[in-house]
Chains A and B, each alone.
Chain A
């Protein structure tokens, strides 16, 4: 996999080495105080914990499926913490860390994977759109939304920006490439945040692209940058810069966060069929959390009490997630007919009424499952 050694190329923006040593980057200065740095560490630990619990809950039959973010925490927290409240994010289905940054409760995420809802939160309230499963679709939604932001005159000093998340596989879709082009020709205030985790289910990056993904942007006429996706500080700095450019009217940026999916694609997947263990080991050495912890310790930015407190908090969170998942009740069967249309719809009303009668016929007969 020749391209996979490309993380050593000079264009990879990195602020923290895997050993936790900080170096300033001339193009991406980082304005952040120690409190915020500790906050990032806390975020990384807590979202990883939520993710681990969700995987466990799926194994226990409490969730139908889960798409793990293991290994991608830094890309998501770094970019997520770069967002301002009135920015809008358009995620795919693995962006649990970004959701966390947007104030979405873990239980709201679990609902979709448990099968009690097809959505789970109010996108406008959180500035975080619903998870999108059909690959690439949301890149166009983000671009259109950004075109709206532009038309509303919300670009400028206190302007807002839009960010779209997708994977390396998604860069093969027509929709994603159309989004790049619409964003470019309209100079739309949108940031395309590609988490290149090296795999699209079983297909390695070489099956999607012959060029490093960030270079795609130049063909469409806007800047692309590759950032170390396991370095939360670099992800924060690069995303902040791209969002600022967008909101100031300088148009789109493609960020390729070079990272790795350490778990399976989803809980249905078996990565041992297509990838070798050595690859995982190599990436484990670049773990985003270990690196931040080393940095905090080396620089004396956090003490043992801090780490212990994050640990306790993480245990409590895990317990809460488990409890909230297990006690989530099933929706009413008539919810099937809810909110299909904005306007009253006689057709749906009729089917709902017929189905309600049908269900009631079982209650009347008192029998489980009818005849």
Chain B
């Protein structure tokens, strides 16, 4: 059955289906219960699954991730909600030094099926700590998987895949796109969905490859649509760790140019990593240097300036122009 869902509702429906399928799946976080989360992503789950499975935790992120580790060690599959990107950091120790490393330390004897959902990115006019794009910290940490979604179809399926994964998965939700809609076939079998590890060609093209993920996919598609003379291929990365380099490299081999765009600051961002890898793997196919269109290396600014800070359609098009200037 096909249903018209927003990204937010898609995640909600995916969570519901995962909870119905497996009684070990738990939801935990601040305000996830009666309120349904500040973005209402867990709306209705508390009512239907009860306070034992949808846990309003004390206001302590280290506590949320730390106890989720313990629950996972005991056979549960906790899905933790961090309320906003900027509030993840109190949980950094538990995530980076504990969660990420336990499987290897136990020589594979321990499983850590913990999902950490983080609404991330800017563009909603919020006060500070509510608009950050911290994905590079996670992609730099071995032992964690990181994914993000750009449409409701992926939202619905990928949250279920993240929960089913025996690895810890950081699930980045593009908060400014929560209300974007798409048709989702909510009754297809889970195994039939595109795996969360792979990138997706969101729009085919022949002259340049534009890589984006999460909130920037929409902007990238707009940029490709605005380019009437040049044919731009848009790749939606979906998985940030590991990155599906094969899809990107194949695309660049066909188009000869690569532009990467993200909301996160330029330096040390995923764009830098892609530029390095693509240069290594298809140097002789490249017609121009890899161009990065990212946010600045400054703290996220006051909201009245975020339109300047975040790469917008013009900045992405400017990046495309730069790639064709060679």
A residues near B, CB below 8 A?
A: 64-65, 93, 112-118, 133-136, 169-170, 172-175, 200-203, 207-209, 268-269, 273-274, 330-331, 333, 335-337, 340, 347-348, 351, 355, 358, 369-371
Main secondary structure of the interface of A (DSSP, over half): loop
B42-89, CB < 8 A from A: 56-60, 62-63, 86-87, 89
Q: How far is the CA of A174 from the CA of B86 in the complex (A)?
A: 16
Q: How far is the CA of A209 from the CA of B63 in the complex (A)?
A: 14
User: For this complex, into which size category does the number of interface residues on chain B fall?
Assistant: 35 or more
Contact B302 A203 (CB under 8 A): no
CB distance from A182 to the nearest CB of B (A): 16
Q: How far is the CA of A136 from the CA of B58 in the complex (A)?
A: 13
Query: Pick the contact of B63 from A114, A172, A268, A369 — CB < 8 Å?
Result: A172
| Chain B: CB-nearest residue to A173 | B60
B299, CB-defined interface residue at 8 Å = yes
B30, CB-defined interface residue at 8 Å = yes
CB distance from A121 to the nearest CB of B (A): 14
Given A116-B304, A207-B58, A335-B305, is A202 in contact with B314 using a C-beta cutoff of 8 Å? no
Q: How far is the CA of A268 from the CA of B40 in the complex (A)?
A: 12
B residues near A, CB below 8 A?
A: 30-31, 33-36, 38, 56-60, 62-63, 86-87, 89-90, 125-130, 226, 266-267, 296-299, 301-306, 308-309, 314-315, 317-318
Contact B56 A371 (CB under 8 A): no
Chain A residues positioned under 8 Å from B296 (CB to CB): 336-337, 351, 355
Chain B residues positioned under 8 Å from A337 (CB to CB): 296, 298
Contact B34 A173 (CB under 8 A): no
Main secondary structure of the interface of B (DSSP, over half): loop
| Chain B: CB-nearest residue to A130 | B128
Contact A175 B90 (CB under 8 A): yes
Q: How far is the CA of A340 from the CA of B36 in the complex (A)?
A: 37
Chain B residues positioned under 8 Å from A136 (CB to CB): 90
CB distance from A186 to the nearest CB of B (A): 22
Given A173-B90, A340-B299, is A135 in contact with B59 using a C-beta cutoff of 8 Å? yes
- 19 residue pairs A–B, Cβ–Cβ below 8 Å: A112-B302, A113-B127, A115-B304, A116-B302, A133-B129, A133-B130, A134-B87, A174-B63, A174-B90, A175-B90, A200-B30, A203-B30, A203-B59, A207-B56, A208-B58, A273-B34, A336-B296, A355-B296, A371-B314
Contact B128 A118 (CB under 8 A): yes
Of B90, B306, B315, most A-chain CB atoms within 10 Å: B90
CB distance from A262 to the nearest CB of B (A): 18
Contact B301 A118 (CB under 8 A): yes
Given A201-B30, A331-B304, A371-B314, is A133 in contact with B128 using a C-beta cutoff of 8 Å? yes
Q: How far is the CA of A358 from the CA of B322 in the complex (A)?
A: 12
| Chain B: CB-nearest residue to A134 | B129
Contact B298 A348 (CB under 8 A): yes
Contact A358 B298 (CB under 8 A): no
Chain A residues positioned under 8 Å from B87 (CB to CB): 134-135
Q: How far is the CA of A136 from the CA of B60 in the complex (A)?
A: 9
CB distance from B323 to the nearest CB of A (A): 15
Chain A residues positioned under 8 Å from B306 (CB to CB): 115
Contact A172 B90 (CB under 8 A): no
Q: How many A-B residue pairs have CB under 8 A?
A: 123
The 3 closest A-B pairs by CB, nearest first: A115-B303, A202-B35, A172-B58
Q: How far is the CA of A332 from the CA of B54 in the complex (A)?
A: 45
CB distance from A1 to the nearest CB of B (A): 14
Chain A residues positioned under 8 Å from B297 (CB to CB): 340, 347-348, 351
Contact A371 B126 (CB under 8 A): no
Q: How far is the CA of A351 from the CA of B265 in the complex (A)?
A: 11
Contact B86 A134 (CB under 8 A): yes
Q: How far is the CA of A93 from the CA of B308 in the complex (A)?
A: 26
Of B33, B63, B304, B309, most A-chain CB atoms within 10 Å: B304
Chain B residues positioned under 8 Å from A358 (CB to CB): 315, 318
Chain A residues positioned under 8 Å from B125 (CB to CB): 64, 115
Chain A residues positioned under 8 Å from B62 (CB to CB): 174
Contact A114 B314 (CB under 8 A): no
Chain B residues positioned under 8 Å from A333 (CB to CB): 305, 308
Contact A64 B126 (CB under 8 A): yes
Contact B34 A274 (CB under 8 A): yes
CB distance from A131 to the nearest CB of B (A): 9
Q: How far is the CA of A339 from the CA of B110 in the complex (A)?
A: 46
Of B36, B86, B127, B296, most A-chain CB atoms within 10 Å: B127
Q: How far is the CA of A202 from the CA of B54 in the complex (A)?
A: 14
Chain B residues positioned under 8 Å from A201 (CB to CB): 30-31, 35, 38
Q: How far is the CA of A54 from the CA of B298 in the complex (A)?
A: 29
Chain B residues positioned under 8 Å from A336 (CB to CB): 296, 298, 301, 305, 308-309
- Known pairs A174-B63, A351-B297. 20 more at Cβ < 8 A? A93-B127, A115-B303, A115-B304, A115-B306, A134-B90, A136-B90, A169-B59, A173-B90, A201-B30, A201-B31, A203-B59, A207-B58, A273-B35, A274-B34, A331-B305, A333-B308, A336-B296, A337-B296, A340-B299, A351-B266
| Chain A: CB-nearest residue to B86 | A134
Contact A134 B301 (CB under 8 A): no
| Chain B: CB-nearest residue to A67 | B127
Q: How far is the CA of A42 from the CA of B232 in the complex (A)?
A: 64
Of A113, A174, A175, most B-chain CB atoms within 10 Å: A174
Given A65-B126, A355-B296, A371-B314, is A173 in contact with B59 using a C-beta cutoff of 8 Å? yes
